[in-house]
A and B are shown apart, each in its own frame.
Chain A
Amino acid sequence: MMLELTDVKKSFAEPDGGELPILDIDRFSLGPGEQMVLVGRSGCGKSTLLHVISGISRPDSGHVRVGEWDITLFTEPECDRFRAEQIGYVFQNFNLLPGFSALENVLLGMRFAGGRTDRSRAKHLLDRVGLGHRMSHKPTQLSVGEQQRVSVARALANRPRLLLADEPTANVDSGHQQQVIDLLRDTCREENVALLIVTHTPEVAEQFERIDNLEDFNRAVVK
Chain B
Amino acid sequence: MSLWKIAWRSIQQRSLASALTAFGMGLGVALVVAVLVIYGVIDQSFKRGAQGYDMIVGAKGSPLQLVLNAVFHMGDSVETIPYSYYEELNEGRFSSAVETAVPICMGHDYRGFPVVATIPDMFDKLTYLDGREYAFGDGRNFHMEDPFEAVVGDTAARKLNLKLGDEIQPAHPGENPEAKQDSDHHPFTIVGILDHTGTPNDRAIFINLEGFYSMGCHAFAPSVAQTFMQGKKSGAGEDPKHAKEKPAEKGKEPPATAKEAQDHEAHDHGPVPLDERQITAVLVCTDQSRQRLAMALPGVINNEPIAQAVMPSQVISQLFEGIIGNIQLLLLILAILVVVVAGVGILVSIYNSMSDRRHEIAIMRALGARRVHVGAIILLESILLSLGGGVFGLLLGHGLVGVLGPTIAEQTGVAVSALQFQLDELVLIPGLLVLASLVGYLPAAAAYRTDVAKSLTAAQ
- A→B interface (CB under 8 Å): 47-48, 51, 54, 56-57, 76-77, 80-81, 83-85, 89, 91-93, 95, 97-100, 104, 107-113, 117, 154, 158
- Name the residue on B nearest A166 (C-beta): B460
Chain B residue numbers with a CB within 8 Å of A85 are 368
**Are B366's CB and A83's CB within 8 A?**
yes
- One digit per residue, 1 when the CB lies within 8 angstroms of any chain A CB and 0 when it does not, for chain B 429-460 equals 00000000000000000000000110011011
Chain B residue numbers with a CB within 8 Å of A47 are 456-457, 460
Q: List B1-32 residues whose CB lies under 8 Å from chain A.
A: 1, 6, 9-10, 12-13
B334 within 8 A of A: no
B351 to chain A, nearest CB (A): 19
**Are A80's CB and B368's CB within 8 A?**
yes
- Name the residue on B nearest A157 (C-beta): B367
Q: Measured between alpha carbons, how far is A77 from B369 in the docked complex, in Å?
A: 9
Q: A80-B368, A158-B368 are in contact. List 11 more A-B contacts (CB 8 A).
A: A47-B460, A51-B452, A56-B452, A77-B370, A77-B371, A89-B367, A93-B460, A97-B360, A98-B13, A108-B367, A111-B369
Chain B residue numbers with a CB within 8 Å of A154 are 367
- One digit per residue, 1 when the CB lies within 8 angstroms of any chain A CB and 0 when it does not, for chain B 178-208 equals 0000000000000000000000000000000
Given A93-B459, A98-B13, A99-B10, A109 and B453 contact (CB-CB distance below 8 Å):
no
Option from A97, A111, A158 in Cβ contact (under 8 Å) with B363: A97
A80 to chain B, nearest CB (A): 5
A153 to chain B, nearest CB (A): 13
B140 within 8 A of A: no
**Are A56's CB and B453's CB within 8 A?**
yes
Q: How many residues of B contact A (CB 8 A)?
A: 25
For the complex of A and B, the 6 pairs showing the least CB-CB separation, nearest first, are A84-B368, A99-B13, A112-B368, A99-B9, A112-B369, A80-B370
Chain B residue numbers with a CB within 8 Å of A117 are 1
**Are B365's CB and A56's CB within 8 A?**
yes
- Name the residue on A nearest B373 (C-beta): A112
- Name the residue on A nearest B360 (C-beta): A97
Chain A residue numbers with a CB within 8 Å of B364 are 97, 108, 112
- Name the residue on A nearest B12 (C-beta): A99
Chain B residue numbers with a CB within 8 Å of A48 are 453
Option from A76, A93, A112 in Cβ contact (under 8 Å) with B367: A112
**Are A92's CB and B460's CB within 8 A?**
yes
Q: Measured between alpha carbons, how far is A133 from B106 in the docked complex, in Å?
A: 83
Q: List 14 A-B contacts (CB under 8 A).
A: A48-B453, A77-B371, A80-B365, A80-B368, A80-B369, A85-B368, A91-B456, A91-B460, A99-B13, A108-B6, A108-B364, A108-B367, A111-B1, A113-B368
- Name the residue on B nearest A138 (C-beta): B13
A-B contact count (CB 8 A): 81
Chain A residue numbers with a CB within 8 Å of B360 are 97
Chain B residue numbers with a CB within 8 Å of A92 are 460
Q: Measured between alpha carbons, how far is A56 from B369 in the docked complex, in Å?
A: 11
Chain A residue numbers with a CB within 8 Å of B372 are 77
B16 to chain A, nearest CB (A): 14
Chain B residue numbers with a CB within 8 Å of A57 are 452-453
Given A108-B6, A108-B364, A56 and B456 contact (CB-CB distance below 8 Å):
yes
Q: Measured between alpha carbons, how far is A108 from B9 in the docked complex, in Å?
A: 12
Q: Measured between alpha carbons, how far is A84 from B359 in the docked complex, in Å?
A: 18
Q: Measured between alpha carbons, how far is A22 from B1 in the docked complex, in Å?
A: 37
A14 to chain B, nearest CB (A): 14
Chain B residue numbers with a CB within 8 Å of A108 are 1, 6, 364, 367
- Name the residue on B nearest A104 (C-beta): B1
**Are B368's CB and A95's CB within 8 A?**
no
**Are A107's CB and B1's CB within 8 A?**
yes
Chain A residue numbers with a CB within 8 Å of B368 are 80-81, 83-85, 109, 112-113, 158
Q: Measured between alpha carbons, how far is A95 from B457 in the docked complex, in Å?
A: 11
A179 to chain B, nearest CB (A): 22
Q: Measured between alpha carbons, how far is A57 from B456 in the docked complex, in Å?
A: 11
Chain B residue numbers with a CB within 8 Å of A104 are 1, 9
**Are A81's CB and B366's CB within 8 A?**
no
Chain A residue numbers with a CB within 8 Å of B366 are 54, 56, 83, 89, 91, 95
Q: Which of B1, B9, B453, B459 has the most CB of A within 10 A?
A: B1
B364 to chain A, nearest CB (A): 7
B3 to chain A, nearest CB (A): 8
Chain A residue numbers with a CB within 8 Å of B452 are 51, 56-57
**Are B363's CB and A112's CB within 8 A?**
no
Given A84-B367, A112-B370, A100 and B9 contact (CB-CB distance below 8 Å):
yes
B395 to chain A, nearest CB (A): 26
Q: Which of A77, A83, A95, A107 has the most CB of B within 10 A?
A: A95
Chain B residue numbers with a CB within 8 Å of A112 are 364, 367-370, 373
Q: Which of B13, B370, B372, B373 has the most CB of A within 10 A?
A: B370
- Name the residue on A nearest B452 (C-beta): A56
Q: Measured between alpha carbons, how far is A154 from B13 in the docked complex, in Å?
A: 21
- Name the residue on A nearest B363 (C-beta): A95
- Name the residue on B nearest A158 (C-beta): B368
- One digit per residue, 1 when the CB lies within 8 angstroms of any chain A CB and 0 when it does not, for chain B 341-371 equals 0000000000000000001100111111111
Q: Measured between alpha carbons, how far is A47 from B12 in the docked complex, in Å?
A: 32
